[in-house]
A and B are shown apart, each in its own frame.
Chain A
Amino acid sequence: MAVLTFMCFLSTYYNDDLADVNIKVGSVQVKNVADFTTTRERKDLAIINNLGVKVDLSQVFNWNVKEIFLYLTAEYSSDVNALNQVVLWDKIVMREDAQRIDIPSVDPEYYFFDDSKGLIGNENVTLTLSWNVIPNAGRLPRVQGLGSTTVKLPSTYAHSSGRI
C-alpha cells in the first residue's frame, strides 16, 4: 500500500499542471467606503462587473488529482504596500465536476478592499487565475494559469452614499 502510494506520487511528480486561462472584465468602479471587515476606516473598494473566467482543466486532472482549488487573484502595488494580493473568487473543482470552466460572470465572493487608498487611478491591477492541485497523495503544487488580464481602474470615485 505504501509502495503503491509512493508510485502514485512519483508518477505525477514531473507534471507541470499548466493550462491556458482567459479572464474577461466588464465595467469597473472604485469607491471609498468604510471597510467594515476591519477597522471601519475609509478605504478603496473596487467593484468589477461581469468578471468572466474560462479555463480547461481536463489536461490538469490526472489519476493523482483529487481536487483542484481554483482562485482568481488581483495583484497590484500601491504607495503603502509593494505587493497586494486579493483573492476575488475561488472554486473547488472535484474530479467528477465539469472540468471545462466557462463562467461568463462569476459571483464575487470576497470584497476587493485595499489596505488604504491604493486602488483609485491604479492602472496596473493584474488578474490571474491560479490553482492548487490537491493530489490523492503527493505534492501540493500551486500553478499560475497561462494568461492574465490587466485592469485600469478609474481615477475618480463612483458616487456612493457611504454604503457599498
Chain B
Amino acid sequence: MKVLEQFEFLDDVRRMDARQVIYQFLNFCMIVASALMIWKGLMVITESESPIVVVLSGSMEPAFYRGDLLLLTNHHDEPIRAGEIVVFKIKGRDIPIVHRVIKLHEKEDGTTKFLTKGDNNRVDDRGLYAPGQLWLKREDVVGRARGFLPYVGIVTILMNDYPQLKYAVLGCLGIYVLIHRETN
C-alpha cells in the first residue's frame, strides 16, 4: 500500500469495494455505448454513412478552412443540384472530398451525372477523379453539406497528426471515468 499512498488521487479507488469497481466499469461502458448510439442514430436520421466530416484541405477556402466541421445529410429523395456542396468518394481513395457541383445533367428517369470543383481551385475536379472518370454519380456522394461549425474539427486533425495525443486523451478520459468515484 506504500506505493498507492503516494498517489492521493487513487484514494477513491482504494475506498471502493468490488461492487463499486464493477459499477464504475459498467458506467464507463455506458458512456462508450451512448457515444456509439448517438453516432449510429445520426446515421439513420441523415441517411449518410458519415453525418459529420472535418474539412481536411484548403480547396474550399475562404468558405471552409482546415479543421472546420460540416454536418451532412444524404436523403436520396432530394435530387442533387448545381451550386450544392457535396462530399464524395473516389474509387481507390479513402479520404472523401468536399467540393461544389458546377455542372449537372439529369436524365428523364432521374439518373444524374455531375462535375465538381473546389471554390479555391482554378480547375474542375476531373483530374482528381479516377483515371478515365469524367463524371460523378449519385452513389459516389457520401453526403451534402447542410450545417457548418468552425474550428471544432481541429481536435480530430491534431489527433490524426499526432497519434500519441489521441492515446493520451483517450487514456486520461478512461482513467478519470474509472477512478472518479460518484459522490452519493
Contact with B along A91-119 (1 / 0, CB 8 A): 01010000000000000001000010000
Report the interface size for chain B: residues with CB under 8 A from the other chain: 26
A-B contact count (CB 8 A): 81
Contact of A5 among B126, B146, B149 (CB under 8 A): B149
Q: Which residues of the other chain, A, contact B157 by a CB distance below 8 angstroms?
A: none
Q: A73-B83, A87-B102, A132-B85 are in contact. Are A137 and B149 (CB under 8 A)?
A: yes
Of residues 84 through 129 on chain B, the ones whose CB sits less than 8 Å from some CB of chain A are: 84-85, 100, 102-108, 119, 124, 126
* Chain A residues touching B, range: 20 to 34
Q: Which residues of the other chain, A, contact B81 by a CB distance below 8 angstroms?
A: 85, 142
Answer whether residue B147 sits at the interface, using C-beta atoms and an 8 A cutoff: yes
Chain A residue at minimum C-beta to C-beta distance from B108: A82
Answer whether residue A152 sits at the interface, using C-beta atoms and an 8 A cutoff: no
Contact of A84 among B104, B108, B148, B150 (CB under 8 A): B104
Least distance between B111 CB and chain A CB atoms (Å): 10
Give the complex CA separation of A110 and B126 in angstroms.
14
Can you add 9 more A-B contacts, CB < 8 Å, to A87-B82, A138-B148? Answer: A66-B62, A71-B83, A73-B83, A84-B104, A86-B104, A90-B119, A132-B100, A134-B63, A142-B84
Least distance between A38 CB and chain B CB atoms (Å): 5
Q: Can you pick out 29 interface pairs between chain A and chain B where the beta carbons lie within 8 Å of each other?
A: A37-B126, A39-B134, A67-B62, A69-B63, A69-B83, A73-B82, A73-B83, A80-B107, A81-B107, A83-B106, A84-B105, A84-B106, A85-B104, A86-B103, A87-B82, A87-B103, A90-B119, A92-B62, A110-B103, A134-B64, A134-B148, A136-B150, A137-B149, A138-B148, A139-B146, A140-B146, A140-B147, A142-B81, A142-B84
Chain B residue at minimum C-beta to C-beta distance from A87: B102
Q: Which residues of the other chain, A, contact B147 by a CB distance below 8 angstroms?
A: 138-140
Q: Which residues of the other chain, A, contact B126 by a CB distance below 8 angstroms?
A: 37
Taking a contact as CB atoms under 8 Å apart, the answer to whether A67 and B149 are in contact is no
Give the complex CA separation of A136 and B148 in angstroms.
8
Answer whether residue B145 sits at the interface, using C-beta atoms and an 8 A cutoff: yes
Q: Which residues of the other chain, A, contact B124 by a CB distance below 8 angstroms?
A: 37, 110
Give the complex CA separation of A90 and B165 in angstroms.
41
Give the complex CA separation of A5 and B69 in angstroms.
13
Least distance between B90 CB and chain A CB atoms (Å): 17
